[in-house]
Amino acid sequence: MILLDTCVLFWLECDPKRISVSAREAMQNRDVVLHASAISAFELGLKVRRGQIHLPLPVGEWVREVCARRGIRLLPVDAALAGRSTELPPIHRDPCDRFLIATAQLADLSIATPDAHISEYPDLRVIW
């Protein structure tokens, strides 16, 4: 069970060669269920507004469509998750990444990410 970092979700659809070989192999395992967080729609939406990326659909629709087509389970953000993200050690300051870390910890998921700061968190399995 793997949670995709926002960049990995985007790259999976738009630029898969940016994903490491080991992460791609892990994600292609038929026994592995891929997950994405709803916070990724928020993070991608910010990048669209800043002109950093372009999507062919409104961001929420794009995330839902990509997840549905690829069989990725989209996980909601709830109060327990929001609370947990504030209780993490201050290793990473990016709020979206803190939500992803909390999601992986609470759902007992590995996380596919190139972000070295995320791998510094205890009780977290990182694939890259």
90 CB neighbour count, 10 Å cutoff: 6
What are the backbone angles phi and psi of residue 57, rounded to the nearest 5°? -135, 165
Judge whether 26 lies within some domain. yes
- Confirm whether 124 is domain-assigned: no
CA distance 67 to 105: 21
Cβ-proximal residues to 41 (8 Å cutoff; 6+ apart), any chain = 59, 60, 63
pLDDT recorded at residue 84: 96
Residue 123: per-residue pLDDT: 87
* Cβ-proximal residues to 110 (8 Å cutoff; 6+ apart), any chain: 1, 2, 3, 26, 104, 125, 126, 127
The CATH number assigned to the domain holding 29 equals 3.40.50.1010
CB-based contact 38:76 (threshold 8 Å): yes
In a domain, 127, yes or no: no
Q: How would residue 62 be classed by pLDDT, with cut points 50, 70 and 90?
A: very high
Write out the residue range of the structural domain in which residue 8 sits: 2-118
Residue 125 falls inside a structural domain: no
Task: For residue 15, tell me if it sits in a domain.
Answer: yes
User: Does residue 8 sit within a domain?
Assistant: yes
| Spatial distance between the Cα atoms of 20 and 4, rounded to a whole number of angstroms | 13
* 43-53 confidence digits (pLDDT tens): 999 999 999 99
Position 123 in a domain:
no
CB burial readout 17-42, b (16+ within 10 A) else e = eebeeebbebbeeeeeebbbbbbbbb
Could you give the number of structural domains in the chain? Answer: 1
Q: Is 126 a member of any domain?
A: no
